Structure 1
Amino acid sequence: MRCPYCKDPMEEGCVQGPRGIYWSEKPSKFIPPYKKNTMPLSEETFLTIPTIRAHRCQKCEIIILCSKEKQVYW
């Protein structure tokens, strides 16, 4: 995958969170965020760390998440 800003190749990896990964319009004080316009990007589990595949551009310092792949295990 190439960076949409600088067109350099992006590094493939993952983003992890201890209680799930969520998209929200505003930051939340609660984990997980129980807000109206919140979208879970990973499954909540007790036995594994929620993980989602991502691509990172070191130059532009951006990360693109692959949210259609809800849970990724390596």
Structure 2
Amino acid sequence: MNDIVRCPECSNEGKQGYIFSPRRICWSESADSIIADFGNEILIKDAIFRISKIPAFRCEKCNLVIFKYK
């Protein structure tokens, strides 16, 4: 991951790093609150034994994170 990625909002250079979570990360097209995440698309699965890290870029100015999943 050596490519320079520019922020789509401000064009600043993104900072290279990794995103991770011991819990799954899901996607929903609705802003409504939910009680459980059943039925939503899982982008990153729950960690079982080890927490996987996904390569990502972030803009420290806009607080935007860009990462590829799957």
What are the equivalent positions in structure 2 for 1:1-74 lying under 5 Å apart?
1-25=5-29, 26=31, 27-30=33-36, 33-35=37-39, 38-67=40-69, 70=70
Structure 1 spans left out of the alignment, 5+ residues: none
Q: Identity across aligned pairs (percent)?
A: 33
Q: CA deviation at 1:56?
A: 0.5
Structure 1 segments (4+ residues) deviating >4 Å = none
Root mean square deviation, CA, Å: 1.9
Q: Which amino acid aligns with 2:10?
A: C
Tell me if the contact between 1:19 and 1:45 (Cα under 8 Å) persists in the aligned partners.
Answer: yes
- Higher relative contact order by CA 8 Å / sep ≥ 6: 1 or 2? 2
Bigger Cα Rg: 2
Distance 1:45 1:55 in 2: 21
Q: Which runs of 5+ in 2 are unaligned?
A: none
Matched to 1:24, the amino acid is: S
